[in-house]
Amino acid sequence: MPFHKYPPKIWEALKLKQGIYTRLPKHYLKSLEQKEPTPVHWKPLGIKYRANPNTGLKERVQDVPIPIYYPPESQDGLWGGEGWISGFRYANNDKMSTRLYKTWKTQLFNRELYSEILDHKFTIAVTARTLDLIDAAYGFDFYILQTPKEDLNSKLGMDLKRAMLLRLARKDTELYPNDSSKREKVYNKFKRFEIPEEEAEWVGLSLEEAVEKQRLLEHKEPDPLFKTCVDKLVKELTIQKLSEPHVTEKN
């Protein structure tokens, strides 16, 4: 007999169907849906069967993704989808020798990246692949804005995306305050990424941050007792004054 009513694998999904989680915005709940990231460390064949080149017989293709570990520090940088891969290697490159456990780690570089929208330089740990993706997107801002959440795989990247989208939605005049023409040029350049401010505020928030934000939005400070008494007294005096007969003097 099972110990739990529901299997632990679906606990997170069930949690979103009760309490304050049900009152989170629909666009935020949709962003929590798990999607497969773009393969980085392996190339999927995209087929289930193929002909054996020697026998010509149909055989099944093993299209299995490589398990990748993303350490906590990957959330503080932009690794471009890369992570750590664990496996084994042969000692002295001899297949007859003992296998040794090995972890292949990403090579990181600290680089200064400039954001036109935020008008700020950020020193971020990146990989060579990230730099190639930024070049392919024609700029740091374009890379952050057009790369989906599952491919960024970075809390820092999603925080930067939220800050950029908020500035685009608000048309903040703090951007280039002494050069309005340059400011308008930047806003027009990234106009296709604009979304309503109400949606931009939720982009990239973790589930804990979103719940706290929703709690603060729903929280209402109780009215002080003296204010309630004063309002009641004013209302009673108004009624009393209206109920008194109005006397007019004749000249």
Structure tokens at 201: 């505020």
Residue 251 in this model has a pLDDT that exceeds 70: no
pLDDT, tens digit, 9 for 90 and up, residues 55-93: 889 999 888 888 999 999 999 999 999 999 999 988 888
pTM, 2 dp:
0.79
Give the range with max mean pLDDT: 5-14, 24-33, 84-93, 155-164. 155-164
Contacts of 213 (CB under 8 A, 6+ apart): 201, 202, 205
pLDDT, tens digit, 9 for 90 and up, residues 94-115: 888 888 999 999 999 999 999 9
Q: What pLDDT sits at residue 1?
A: 47
pLDDT, tens digit, 9 for 90 and up, residues 175-218: 888 889 999 999 999 999 999 999 999 999 999 999 999 998 88
Place of tokens 């299997």: 7
- How far is residue 123's CA from residue 109's CA, in Å, rounded to a whole number? 10
pLDDT average, residue stretch 123-130: 96
Q: What pLDDT sits at residue 247?
A: 56
- How far is residue 92's CA from residue 98's CA, in Å, rounded to a whole number? 9
- Which has more confidence, 34 or 79? 79
Residue 246 in this model has a pLDDT that exceeds 70: no
- How far is residue 227's CA from residue 120's CA, in Å, rounded to a whole number? 47
- How far is residue 178's CA from residue 110's CA, in Å, rounded to a whole number? 31
pLDDT, tens digit, 9 for 90 and up, residues 133-162: 999 999 999 999 999 999 999 999 999 999
What average pLDDT does the chain have? 88
Structure tokens at 47: 């087929």
**CA angle, 87 as apex, 85 and 92 as ends, to 5°?**
120
Place of tokens 């795989």: 153
| Ranges assigned E (strand) in 69-211 | 85-90, 99-104, 109-115, 120-126
Categorize the per-residue pLDDT at 248 as very low, low, confident or very high, splitting at 50, 70 and 90.
Answer: low
Contacts of 166 (CB under 8 A, 6+ apart): 197, 200, 201
- How far is residue 115's CA from residue 216's CA, in Å, rounded to a whole number? 31
Q: What pLDDT sits at residue 92?
A: 84
DSSP string, 74-94: GGGSB-TT--BEEEEEEGGG-
The residue count for the chain: 251
DSSP string, 57-78: -EEE----PPP-B--GGGGGSB
